Amino acid sequence: MLRHPLFFHINTSMANSGPLARQPTKLDYASPTQFSFIINQLPKVQFFTVAANVPGVSIGETVLPTPFRQIPIQGDMVDYESLEISFIVDEYLENYLSLHDWITGVGFPKTRNQFTTFRDSTSETPSGIFPERAVDRTSGAIKSDRPNISDATLTILSNKNNPIVEVRFRDLFPVSLGALDYDQGATDVEYLRTTASFSYQLYEIVAL
């Protein structure tokens, strides 16, 4: 007796979507210690970075009013949480000062010369001339001030220290830098470490 083609189609579909086909092929767990962090503007910070995060994202929601209840509807605007890093401070505070100079260079709390000095010489990507901040006539977007922002990459490593995933941050800038707490009453030597928070345009997760 001949089987109907639909019979074979159903059985083939069930075989491809059965419990065995749905099992994961990679069973290793992610380790929180297997990573490296590179930020172009802060080469002296990246070597001492001991903690970093992949920021959370949310899309929000809106509601559709009805006579019975508010119906939630998915939003259309993605919000990114801040990038947070922790790093050990070196003896001469060079890595701390590089981040401190970035913040004070952009905010110039004393004089406007702080801004021009950072832009033209202190920055790892100095402009040398005043960057054009006009609106791009083609896209309508404001052109970036590249000496004052940076790209960064958080590389996730396998258990054999091979890079497997990159989290690429675009147009990043610092929004806060933690304090340095000195204490002569400390009984054990714990090297100073501090935290920093960054905002950015967006990030992408890329499998290598």
- In order along its 208 residues, the chain shows pLDDT tens digits of 555 555 555 555 555 667 777 787 777 888 899 999 999 899 999 889 999 999 999 998 889 999 999 999 988 889 999 999 999 999 999 999 999 999 999 999 999 999 989 888 888 877 654 444 444 455 555 445 578 899 999 999 998 889 999 999 999 999 999 999 998 887 788 899 999 999 999 999 999 9
93, part of any domain: yes
CATH of the domain at 90: 2.30.110
Residue 20 lies in a domain: no
Tell whether 203 is covered by a domain: yes
Is the residue at 53 inside a domain?
yes
Dist. CA 143–CA 208, nearest whole Å: 31
Report if residue 165 sits inside a domain: yes
> How many domains would you assign to the chain?
1
Residues contacting 95, CB < 8 A, separation 6+ = 42, 44, 45, 47, 48, 87, 89
pLDDT of residue 165: 96
- Domain carrying residue 140: 31-207
Collapsed DSSP state (helix, strand, coil) of residue 161: coil
Q: Is there a domain that residue 41 lies in? A: yes
Quote the pTM value: 0.79
User: Does residue 7 lie within any of the structural domains?
Assistant: no
Range 186-192, long-range pairs (CB < 8 A, 24+ positions)? 191/88, 191/89, 192/88, 192/89
Of the candidates 58, 34, 44, 41, the residue with the CA atom closest to the CA atom of residue 161: 34
**Does residue 15 belong to any structural domain of this protein?**
no
Phi/psi at 192 (5° precision)? -60, 135
pLDDT of residue 133: 47
